[in-house]
């Protein structure tokens, strides 16, 4: 894996960042591209860990700063889109990316931006909103979405935001709630491995259409026995507007699975 800095002065439509990309993917065809954005009054450092983690699993990833730390979710959606465009034009990685297989990850207002982007850009095939916040109607969202939530979120409460967004989503969707987690739980270093497993699997399953990763999403073996997860739900899109439900009661199965997906 390698990385490339994107200075703020060379970034068109966002605040600069870092591109991470695999160096051993020759002969593997075009790769999916993913943009990652932080939340309100936060910086690239809070979400940067997603870059090397996803790049090591075959994605080209850009983690970014925003134009202003005070930008609202709609602005963050536009900046995610601009960052994806930057990667597609980049003279180092652009030729490696399939422009029809894109994804986005956002934390807090960045999560709201990812939801908004998914309604505007059809080539975005999967998103990961982390403790998402959005105070406007962003329309119908049917892009596959992995919601990462925190049990004790006092800033963007699950009841007011994440749960409502999750219920409203009409595509494939998954929700993982971190036990006793605050609003900042997705940015804590010690949650990196915990969140990597579903995050990597989600992007491979829905950006690349690789059904081999279903086993890391739909089984209680993966999440039900982890004492750090307080809630888990997964619904696959069966037909537009309907779901094939795969919801598991936590703590009912003692076997483990997919431990290598980190």
Strands of 243-246's sheet in order across = 2-6, 17-21, 60-64, 31-37, 97-107, 124-130, 145-150, 173-178, 229-237, 243-246
In SS3 terms, 121-188 reads as CCCEEEEEEECCCCCCCCCCCCCCEEEEEECCCCCCCHHHHHHHHHHHCCCCEEEEEECCCCCCHHHC
User: Whole-angstrom Cα distance, residue 119 to residue 259?
Assistant: 33
* Residue 108 known to be catalytic: yes
User: Whole-angstrom Cα distance, residue 5 to residue 42?
Assistant: 19
Q: Is 141 exposed, middle or buried (0-12, 13-18, 19+ CB in 10 A)?
A: buried
From the candidates 46, 75, 81, 108, which is the catalytic residue? 108
Which residues lie across from 100 on neighbouring strands? none
| Torsions phi, psi for 179 (to 5 deg) | -60, 130
Which residues lie across from 175 on neighbouring strands? 147, 233
Smallest CA-to-CA distance from 231 within 151, 142, 163 is with 151
Q: Enumerate the active-site residues.
A: 108
């Amino acid at each position: 894996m390698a990385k490339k800095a994107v200075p703020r002065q060379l970034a068109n439509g966002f605040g600069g960042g870092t591109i991470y990309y695999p160096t051993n993917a020759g002969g593997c065809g075009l790769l999916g591209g993913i943009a990652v954005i932080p939340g309100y009054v936060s910086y690239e450092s809070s979400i940067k860990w997603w870059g090397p983690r996803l790049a090591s699993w075959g994605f080209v990833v850009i983690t970014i700063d925003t134009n202003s730390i005070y930008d609202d979710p709609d602005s963050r959606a536009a900046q995610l889109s601009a960052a994806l465009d930057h990667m597609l034009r980049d003279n180092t990685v652009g030729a490696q990316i399939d422009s029809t297989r894109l994804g986005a990850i956002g934390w807090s207002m960045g999560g709201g931006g990812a939801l908004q982007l998914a309604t505007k850009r059809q080539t975005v095939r999967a998103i990961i909103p982390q403790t998402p916040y959005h105070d406007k109607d962003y329309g119908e969202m049917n892009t596959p979405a992995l919601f990462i939530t925190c049990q004790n979120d006092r800033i963007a409460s699950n009841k007011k935001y994440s749960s409502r967004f999750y219920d409203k989503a009409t595509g494939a969707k998954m929700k993982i709630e971190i036990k006793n987690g605050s609003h900042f739980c997705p940015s804590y270093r010690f949650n990196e491995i915990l969140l990597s497993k579903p995050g990597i699997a989600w992007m491979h399953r829905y950006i690349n259409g690789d059904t081999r990763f279903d086993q890391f999403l739909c089984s209680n073996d993966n999440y039900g026995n982890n004492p750090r997860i307080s809630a888990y739900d997964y619904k696959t899109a069966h037909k537009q507007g309907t779901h094939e439900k795969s919801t598991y009661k936590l703590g009912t199965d003692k076997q483990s699975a997919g431990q290598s997906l980190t």
